[in-house]
Structure 1
């Protein structure tokens, strides 16, 4: 069985790997406007940062959390902000005594839901994976290749380290 920490470590790995890949591409790739799901790769990372922040607050028991959108102007800024947020999330996850604890919350659309901390964390990881796919598609649209971000590649990298 995969622990919450292992599962979340995969999310951190995927985010870090993608930001590292972006830092190796021309600087304008991050902010270039294109016709896609999001107008820029920057907008994707700002969205994921916001949603990760909301889920952390929900896991912590806030029913209707508010998070101010961060402007992540550069890949370096995004990397720093995700490092801080992911450390906060990992600290929380590591100290959760009962991941099956149910939390009540409202979605951004005002829908009332009740889910376990574990289910919320899986949602965070799945959401991040989904948007890593968006960014990879946006890379290709601009003429650059992406990197594999599948869980199996994460596991392989762990074996080799």
Structure 2
């Protein structure tokens, strides 16, 4: 196990939790306000982040892209946040125990691929950062000004201070 990937897994959990805490302090209606962008709402963006974490974890663990629990999700916001947190923790557990040099073989749109698990892991972390940034922009457009930092360097500083 490479320590940097474990650091990124811990960072991912920390950043997701910070965003979740900020969103949980707002009225639920902001999650469904429609925007023009990659995804139409904050809720849809969060579902997409969770979808990617779930799908890639499933693919690395058993070779399948299993995301039914996300695609069919219709429960309230608190349940969504808890399920996403749980998936992020499971992703970290995978990073701690898996051989990240293991080649994951899969088919996508009729093509065969073989990609090291470490590249998939890094993709998930980059993907989450990208979409958390989109959520922050959506929140700012709605007038939310108190938004926690979720940048990696902020996590690194907090880690050095002993706060994470």
Give TM class, smaller chain.
0.7 to 0.9
Report SS of the residue matched to 2:94. Answer: helix
- The number of aligned residues is 158
Quote the residue 1:131 is aligned against: 131
Where in structure 1 do 4 or more consecutive aligned residues deviate above 4 Å?
none
Change (3 A) 1:13 1:106: farther
Quote the residue 1:83 is aligned against: 85
Q: How much does 1:73 deviate? A: 4.5
Q: How much does 1:116 deviate? A: 0.8
Q: How much does 1:72 deviate? A: 5.7
Quote the residue 2:144 is aligned against: 144
Q: How much does 1:37 deviate? A: 2.2
Query: How big is the alpha-carbon RMSD for the aligned residues of Structure 1 and Structure 2?
Result: 1.9
> CA contact under 8 A between 1:53 and 1:67: conserved in structure 2?
yes
1:55-90 deviation per Cα after TM superposition (whole angstroms, max 9, x unaligned):
10122240x423211426543222210122122222
- By percentage of residues, which structure has more helix? 2
Q: How much does 1:30 deviate? A: 1.4
Q: How much does 1:48 deviate? A: 1.0
Report SS of the residue matched to 2:138. Answer: helix
The higher relative CO (CA closer than 8 Å, separation ≥ 6) is in 2
Report SS of the residue matched to 2:106. Answer: strand
Quote the residue 1:46 is aligned against: 47
State the TM-score, normalized to the length of structure 1: 0.87
Question: Gapped runs of 5+ residues in structure 1?
Answer: none
Partners of 2:35 and 2:110 in 1: CA distance = 31
Question: Gapped runs of 5+ residues in structure 2?
Answer: none
Change (3 A) 1:36 1:155: same
Quote the residue 1:34 is aligned against: 35
Partners of 1:125 and 1:115 in 2: CA distance = 16
Report SS of the residue matched to 1:115. Answer: strand
Matches within 5 A, 1:1-161: 2-62=3-63, 64-68=64-68, 69-71=71-73, 73-96=75-98, 98-107=99-108, 109-145=109-145, 146-160=147-161, 161=163
Partners of 2:107 and 2:25 in 1: CA distance = 39
